A and B are shown apart, each in its own frame.
Chain A
């Protein structure tokens, strides 16, 4: 910094006026800007105006590296086993006073508690990062028109937030409520060259230099991401929401040729009712549930007795439902359109003992 005192005339004043005309930016003064402050004195001696005096100082605004990675929304992304292109959404904000590149890494947490509770138990595959296309397609949500990034965001202007999507595929065979945590970390890199990732940025060590110094001002991110390291990060997670089905099969004797329906016994000619109950203990509905049951050779299927989509009370089959299903010896089969989470639906049929 320099400071000087001089006597200025009209020309000197004009020069000072132009120095003070540094443009102001909403985002913060651009790194490298010189700020000059000038004060002037007007006074009289013995009633006579004297020449104006002025004093100035100036200093250079240094580079403040600050960025923010935030999960968008505060809920987990629900996925089903085998789902492709499961999306978690983040926002990256460049709060620095310079245009910068940002290196991006999407990683998966290993064990431990995920962002929205639950223990991380699996890893998603084929993890990619997309940048939202804010012109076409579905703005704010992932679609195929978004830009697949190759490890960095190019030339992100000052005070600008962009939406990033971490897109991954979910393995098959996962249990309900299985969780995979993902972390998106962005690290500031030098800007200035479009379409290529800039060099790494280091904080200016030691004494101030006359030029533009670099100061890291980012806050701490996820565990292991310290404050003032030029990077920031946040977590999100995938939670498997699937149907969990359990099948039970019960039977009861309806009648025999001698006792009829009063205390019937399992003798040849007796009618037996089978109830196949499918219980969904998962957290989402199961659809198109196909039930197949082979009728034992000692029994003769009673045509037209299949009832589909019936209910149970407790563990007791209500033997209700709508007619349907089909029989192709030796199999009884039927399809239940939907079994809601927590619900049990049945397929009921009758057969006669040979």
Chain B
């Protein structure tokens, strides 16, 4: 994998205090494969997405870091799901999700979907269109972290 940083010069951008307050975000995807060894023990391997076919489980990893000189507040990471990926879970990261293209947000277990007959059903991972992590506390200078979610190639 090749990671390239494109940082615009401050002089090229409008606004103040931008150049001094950069946040770094990296987005990686892995294929989750389960292999069973000779002793019957299962091992979960994360591989680069070299060979990917429908049905494969993907792990998306987002690494963030406050590379600026001041704390970053109201820190919100939004990840629309690619159309060809079905949401599975987000581990322990408890993100907000949207099932309507990003218009409304909530925990998955609190969202419902309207049915044709007027009733509503509980939202399923399949319904998720966007994932969002909204941080309550500022990210301190130099602070970093990792978020993840799983999906399946449709």
Residues of B within 8 Å of A54, CB to CB, are: 25
Q: Which of A39-47, A140-148, A247-255 contacts B (4 or more CB under 8 A)?
A: A39-47
Q: Is the interface of A mostly helix, strand, loop or mixed?
A: strand
Q: Would you give the shortest CB distance from B113 to chain A, in whole angstroms? A: 17
Cβ 8 A contact of A37, one of B3, B6, B8, B29: B29
Chain B interface residue count, CB cutoff 8 Å, equals: 53
Q: Is A173 an interface residue (CB 8 A)?
A: no
Residue-by-residue, is A27-69 near B (CB-CB < 8 Å gives 1, otherwise 0)?
Answer: 0110001011111111111111111011111011111100000
Q: Given A22-B83, A50-B18, are A37 and B27 also a contact pair (CB < 8 Å)?
A: yes
A41 close to B84 (CB less than 8 A):
no
What is the bound-complex CA distance between A205 and B3, given in angstroms? 27
Q: Is A208 an interface residue (CB 8 A)?
A: yes
Residues of B within 8 Å of A204, CB to CB, are: 51
What is the bound-complex CA distance between A61 and B53, given in angstroms? 6
What is the bound-complex CA distance between A42 and B71, given in angstroms? 13
A35 close to B27 (CB less than 8 A):
no
Q: Would you give the shortest CB distance from A125 to chain B, in whole angstroms? A: 42
What is the bound-complex CA distance between A165 and B55, given in angstroms? 31
Q: Is B38 an interface residue (CB 8 A)?
A: no
What is the bound-complex CA distance between A4 and B21, given in angstroms? 18
Cβ 8 A contact of B154, one of A6, A24, A207, A208: A24
Residues of A within 8 Å of B90, CB to CB, are: none
Chain A interface residue count, CB cutoff 8 Å, equals: 52
Q: Is A1 an interface residue (CB 8 A)?
A: yes
Residues of B within 8 Å of A55, CB to CB, are: 25-27, 62
Using CB atoms and an 8 Å cutoff, list the residues of chain A in contact with chain B.
1-7, 17, 20-25, 28-29, 33, 35-51, 53-57, 59-64, 97, 204, 207-208, 213, 215, 217
16 contacts between A and B (CB under 8 A): A3-B1, A4-B4, A17-B80, A20-B83, A33-B84, A41-B77, A41-B78, A43-B23, A43-B74, A44-B72, A50-B18, A50-B21, A55-B25, A64-B53, A204-B51, A215-B53
Using CB atoms and an 8 Å cutoff, list the residues of chain B in contact with chain A.
1-8, 13, 15-18, 21-29, 48-55, 60, 62, 64, 68, 70-85, 139, 153-154
Question: Known pairs A37-B85, A56-B27. 19 more at Cβ < 8 A?
Answer: A3-B2, A4-B6, A22-B84, A28-B154, A33-B84, A35-B52, A35-B84, A35-B85, A36-B82, A37-B79, A39-B77, A43-B74, A44-B72, A47-B73, A48-B16, A50-B17, A54-B25, A61-B153, A63-B53
